[in-house]
Structure 1
Amino acid sequence: MSTPTRRALTLTPKPAYTLALLTGLYAAQGIPFGFFSQALPVLLREAGMSLKAISLSSLLFLPWALKFLWGPFVDQVGKPRSWLLPLQLCTAGGAAALSLVDLSQGFAMLFAALFVFSLFASVQDVVTDSIAVRLLDSRQRGLGNGIQVGAYRIGMVFGGGLLLYVYARLGSATMFLSMSMLLLLSSMPVLWLRLGKADAAAARTSARELAGGWWLRLREPGVIGFVALIAAYKFGDTMGASLVGPFMRDYGLSKEAIAIIKGSVGSSCGLAGAALGGWLAFRLPRRTVLLAFGIAQTASLALYAAAAQRIGGEPMIWAACIAEHLLGGMATVALFALMMDASDARHAGTDYSLYACAIVCVQGVAGFVGAAIGDAGGYTLVFIVSTVASALGCAALVVGLDRGVGPGLLRDVWAVRSST
């Protein structure tokens, strides 16, 4: 069987515009996510809701776990611009409309609106990933995914910290109007997007084929094996990272110290890791960066194991947190670039969504497994197990791809061993 080839584009935007477009779109996704995860729990708690009730806000993330279902529709129906403009305008308009809602009368309407926001954002994410796969070549995907991770985190800062500050100073109406303006500003590059369908034969695709398109893509040769490899690469890292917050609290650190270490310092290091990882993934072969970043990510978990043994005291926790966010950000960028390499341009939204949802699923499983090990044997054991699992996952990915596991699209990219 011959290696699949990517469909050539008849009209390709300039790289600078492409990167600006992706920056805006990924930041637009981070804004509502930051609001859901950081600002909304504070608003709900202030309204007197219980912690159990606040935990129900996690249902707002459900569309992100199911986004592979609408991937085929995004790939085969309409042009990217015809998806993005209505989605962005609706979310911006919805945010403006929420400024008229009196939160003191209850949060039912807010929850309903935010669920729709999450649904729109998940569809926008599929469209954006499809654009990135189609417009970025194998070298540019390192920079593109650095922008993806970095811009998303910046959007979270605006959606969480900034909007919460605006709420505290000026009230909910100004907060939602500010969200609307941020969404509109991040959408401006879409106005100049001129990109056609990925497949001229899409009009002949039946509704049944669209509904089950994700299953057909999952059954493509090498896809399930590749899903297993990327899951293995992320499992150990996620297992350890999921317990860092509780570990810091049980270690004796104050909430203020944890906020500084994980929030300010951790977020800054995550941004730096995304930028550095994107630059190195642009300069170096995919195999080199995935192996190097995977080993480095594993080493950061070993620092937590040492801290759990009270080695190095609080400075060791700082070192572990900085290493985790910096090196983990680099590894994430490299892995996302590899996922784009494995995505067929004709089915880019579906393919990439399948890989991304697989990572979301493995994160949930890894968090549960980590908690079970932690309850049974303590933090030292769970960090040691996560370190070993991370090392084995990195080895599995590299060895598996060396042996040809995965979609045929990866063969040429993975075969490059030195920068050209």
Structure 2
Amino acid sequence: MTQAALSPVRVAAPYTLMLLTGLYIAQGIPYGFFTQALPVLLRDAGLSLKAISLTSLLFVPWTLKFVWGPFVDRVGAPRRWLLPLQLGSAAGAALLTQVDLQQGFAALFAAFFLFNLFASVQDVVTDALAVRLLDERQRGLANGVQVGAYRIGMVLGGGLLLYVYARFGWRPMFLSMSMLLLLCSLPAFWLRVPAARAEPLRITGRALVAGWWTRLRQPGVLGFIGLIAAYKFGDTMAASLIGPFMRDWGLQKEAIALIKGTVGSSAGLAGAAIGGWAAWRFGRRPALLVFGLAQTASIALYALAGLKLGGVGMVWAACIAEHALGGMATVALFTLMMDASDPDHAGTDYSLYACAIVLTQGAAAFVGGAVGDASGYVTSFVVATLASGVGCLLLVARLDRGAGPAALRTHWRR
């Protein structure tokens, strides 16, 4: 069957906003729990920083989600993907209420791994849908919605769920997660967008591999993947340490839930809104450069907090600054990634770039944990600050010289 020219697609703007907001909140809820709440719970149980860093293995499905890109691009309308995945994730959260935290972590980690597998495929579908629904002018603002909604999910998953656990226990926490995911799924029931490309239902493994391998070999793609990984390494290295750092600093779980999960992520939401407006108003290059360097400066505040300078106020300042400025930088980067994605291959292209970030998160978390165990938090935050600054300057300098996919050259200095 020949390719159907179905991209781009236009859907009513209010519904598009509601749909993407719900889907990205649904992605942020488990991510907020796994990256913010779970490390605190494991540190409270006595695990080392290096052992906690191994939870990054839970995100392996996210690093491999590009494998599903060609399948999502070729088979089935988005609604046929989203509803089973969303409802399956909600059911998975409900099943986790039956897991006993005191009986060991093996079964728990296996359940989390499957949960992330469902969420990673949902992410491919959602990102592909966003690329198809949004034009160039909308992407900066819409990526503010994307990152902002994701941050709201992180507030719920990392702050609210940790608070529920501290007050009511394990089972109410996962029951709350299940109900939140169901609520976020509602807009998908009314989705009526056709498949990006109409092809036979039977797609072979060889065709799938050929699909993403062909996209990976497009001129400039590999170099661009390396640049976005460098841009995010320092920030994600620092972010992986913040929960355990606050616990070891002497804060209680309820205080961490307030500072990191609620106030910090709310600052990230505000940062995402500002970042989306700036990417639309001033262009990609100024937003990436200014926000990337500002994000770098915010990481240095954690090193000062580790030296006990400024007391708990410095911890608050570091968390608010890192979330707000990190939200701005992330919006700018995601907008750039959408610019580099072909609408007819959006599930494959964007997931390749997103997988590079997830893989970077895993490597950065392990490096952060290893350096922290060996030399302490202060050294880790200093290394993260340097890595963040170098990565930001490297990405801007290389794109100035024409690196990356050809599509970026029409967007880079706008």
Q: What secondary structure, in the 3-state scheme, does the structure 2 residue paired with 1:195 have? A: coil
Task: Give me the whole-angstrom Cα distance separating, in 2, the residues matched to 1:237 and 1:164.
Answer: 23
Deviation at 1:117, TM superposition (A): 2.8
Asked if 1:157 is matched to 2:173, the reply is: no
Which of 251, 255, 265 lines up with 1:254 in the alignment?
A: 251
Question: Residues 301 and 314 of structure 2 are in contact (CA less than 8 Å); yes or no, is this contact kept in structure 1?
Answer: yes
Matched with 1:325 is 323
Distance (whole Å) between structure 2 residues aligned to residue 43 and residue 310 of structure 1: 24
Cα displacement (A) at 1:88: 2.0
Any conservation in 2 of the 1:96–1:180 contact (CA below 8 Å)?
yes
Residue equivalent to 2:60? 62
Which piece of structure 1 moves more, 83-92 or 287-296?
83-92
Identify which range, 104-113 or 138-147, moves more after superposition. 104-113
> How much does 1:230 deviate?
0.9
Give unmatched runs, 5+ long, in structure 2: none
Match of 2:27, SS?
A: helix
2:403 is aligned, of 390, 402, 405, to 405
Q: Which residue of 1 aligns with 2:282?
A: 284
Deviations 1:20-65, CA, capped at 9 Å, x for gaps: 111111112223334545666788999xx87489887655433222
Shift of 1:360: 1.9
Whole-angstrom CA distance in 2 between matches of 1:173 and 1:239: 31
Tell me by how many angstroms 1:136 deviates: 1.3
CA distance in 2, matches of 1:43, 1:161: 13
The 1:259/1:67 distance shift into structure 2, 3 A limit, reads same
Give the structure 2 partner of residue 271 of structure 1.
269
- Aligned residue for 1:12, secondary structure, equals coil
CA deviations over 1:304-324 (Å, ceiling 9, x no partner): 444555554554443333221
- Who is 2:361 aligned against? 363
Instruction: Work out whether residues 11 and 194 of structure 1, in 8 Å CA contact, stay in contact via their aligned partners in 2.
Output: no
Q: Mean alpha-carbon deviation: is it higher for 270-279 or for 301-310?
A: 301-310
Question: What is the CA-CA distance between 1:148 and the residue it aligns to?
Answer: 2.1
**Cα 1:209–1:284, aligned 2, differ >3 Å: closer, same or farther?**
same
* Separation in 1, partners of 2:329, 2:357: 13
In the alignment, residue 135 of structure 2 is paired with which amino acid? D
SS at match of 1:414: coil
CA distance in 1, matches of 2:244, 2:107: 33
Residue in 1 aligned with 2:90? 92
8 Å contact kept, 2:160–2:257:
no
Deviations 1:373-407 (A, max 9, x none): 55666555544443333222222111211111111
Cα separation, 1, equivalents of 2:214 and 2:300: 40
Question: Which deviates the most, 375-384 or 275-284?
Answer: 375-384
Q: CA deviation at 1:285?
A: 0.7
Match of 2:27 in 1: 29
Q: 2: CA distance between counterparts of 1:199 and 1:138?
A: 21
Secondary structure at the aligned position of 1:88 is classed as helix
Post-superposition CA distance 1:109-158 (Å, at most 9, x none): 76655443322111100000001111112232222222222222322333
Check 1:45–1:308 CA distance in 2 against 1; reply closer, same or farther (3 A cut): closer
Aligned length: 406
| The 10-residue stretch of structure 1 (182-191 or 53-62) with the greater mean CA deviation from structure 2 | 53-62
CA–CA separation in structure 1 for the residues paired with 2:373 and 2:38: 29
C-alpha change, 1:398 and 1:317, in structure 2 (3 Å) is same
Give the superposition deviation at 1:201: 6.0
Superposed CA RMSD in Å reads 3.6
Q: Return the offset for 1:294.
A: 1.2
Name the CA shift for 1:319/1:209 in 2 (closer, same or farther; >3 Å).
Answer: same
Contact 1:139 1:283 (C-alpha < 8 Å) held by counterparts: no
Q: Is the 8 A contact 1:134 1:345 kept in 2?
A: yes
Q: 1:218 is matched with which residue: 216, 220, 230?
A: 216
Percent identity between the aligned chains? Answer: 68
Whole-Å separation in 2 of the counterparts to 1:92 and 1:254: 31
Partner of 1:4: none
SS of 1:409's equivalent? helix
Distance 1:173 1:346, change over 3 A: same
Partner of 1:238: 236
Q: Partners of 1:105 and 1:381 in 2: how far apart?
A: 33
Task: Tell me which residue corresponds to 1:128.
Answer: 126
Contact 2:32-2:155 at 8 Å conserved across structures = yes
Which moved further from structure 2: 52-61 or 233-242? 52-61
- Using the size of structure 2 for normalisation, the TM-score is 0.83
Q: Structure 1: 5+ residue runs without aligned partners?
A: 1-6
Distance in 1 of aligned mates of 2:223 and 2:62: 23
> Structure 1 residues 51 and 302, CA, compared in 2 at 3 Å: closer, same or farther?
closer
What is the CA-CA distance between 1:339 and the residue it aligns to?
Answer: 0.8
Task: Name the SS of the counterpart of 1:254 in structure 2.
Answer: coil
Greater Cα offset, 198-207 or 18-27: 198-207
Distance 1:239 1:184, change over 3 A: closer
> In 2 relative to 1, CA 258–124 (structure 1 residues): closer, same or farther, beyond 3 Å?
closer
1:341 Cα offset (Å): 0.9
Aligned equivalents of 1:345, 1:325: Cα separation in 2: 30
Amino acid at match of 2:138: Q
- Contact 2:233-2:391 within 8 A present in 1 as well: yes
Aligned-pair distance for 1:337? 1.1
Label 1:92 to 1:241 Cα distance change in 2 as closer, same or farther (>3 A).
closer
**For the residues of structure 2 that align with 1:180 and 1:390, how far apart are their CA atoms?**
35
Whose radius of gyration is greater, 1 or 2? Answer: 1
Query: Structure 1 CA distance, aligned partners of 2:235 and 2:41?
Result: 31
Residues 1:40 and 1:211: Cα distance change in structure 2 (over 3 Å): same
Secondary structure of 2:62's aligned partner: helix
Please say if residues 8 and 343 of structure 2, whose CA atoms lie closer than 8 Å, have aligned partners that are also in contact: no
**Letter of the 1:183 counterpart:** L
